[in-house]
Amino acid sequence: MTAAALMAAHGWPREAIAIVTVTTSGDRIQDRPLAEVGGKALWTKELDGALFSGEIDCAVHSMKDVETIRPDAIAIAAMLPRAAVEDRLIGADSIAALRPGAIVGTSSPRRAAQLKSIRPDIETRLLRGNVARRLASVEAGDFDATLLAAAGLDRLGQASVGSAIPIDTLLPAVAQGAVGIECRADDERAVALISAINHRPTCRCVMAERALLLALGGSCHSPIAALAREEGTDIRLRAQILTEDGSQQVSGEALLPGGATAGATALAHALLDQSSPALRALFGTA
């Protein structure tokens, strides 16, 4: 997708771009939750190393997997147009249709907490790996169901797989559905070339969501959901924080005039102000 966007923007032939496949720690470690083995850095550290060594000029990421605080030497130069932000449920037509005591596979604290807030009888168990592995686990009966990002399924040509869950039921993860491209901050040529494919509406909304995440001080253990959408020149930001068992949750929204991220910070503080000590304890600002 990034190569195609660069070819279209600059009139390059396909051979002008080399795609270097980098296997990350997040790809290799499948038997433990990310939070136990290094968090989101597991998806970025090898790519960061390839950038710093000069092996690659830019790194393509799912923005959902990029740490909130990045090294000063790395710049987020562009984001591609955002795909669908919803989650899809595999194994049942809806959350209500899941059998009593259903076992749902997920590695996401957000999804687990949201499911339990709706259906406290549901049991969640760790399920990591690529889409094929997760689908196979449900098909084999190891789990009653799982949740996957609609964006990932769509990009893999599996748009018909699963049942979309409305965002009013499951607010998505910060930056879900967004692809970002990073460069070395001092590589002015690369930054300029990559910036030409930036989709400004996506970038504005994702940066608002990331500003909220930063202000909350959340980690991979912290169930956080957020979604920003443009309203003219402004941005409407919705957010939700939950306890890990879903028994407590606080939601809110704010209009960010001109997209100013100060409003995202204020929303984060408002959510924490409304939270119980148990809920606040899950965030770095507690």
Catalytic residues, by residue number, are: 65
Cα 42 from chain centroid? 14
Tokens of 155: 């990009």
Q: Find tokens 């996401």 and name the residue.
A: 108
Helix (H) or strand (E) holding 48: helix 45-53
Cα 18 from chain centroid? 26
Q: What are the residues facing 134 on neighbouring strands?
A: none
Distance CA 92, CA 99 (A): 9
Angle at 167 between CA 163 and CA 172, to 5 degrees: 95
User: What backbone phi and psi angles, to 5 degrees, belong to 118?
Assistant: -90, -40
Per-residue burial over 235-253, b if 16 or more Cβ lie within 10 Å, else e, is: bbbbbbbbbbebebbbeee
Distance CA 123, CA 50 (A): 40
Q: End-to-end distance of the chain based on CA atoms, in angstroms?
A: 40
CA 268 vs CA 86, 108, 210: distances in Å:
22, 20, 11
User: What backbone phi and psi angles, to 5 degrees, belong to 102?
Assistant: -55, 145
Q: What's the alpha-carbon Rg for the chain, to the nearest Å?
A: 19
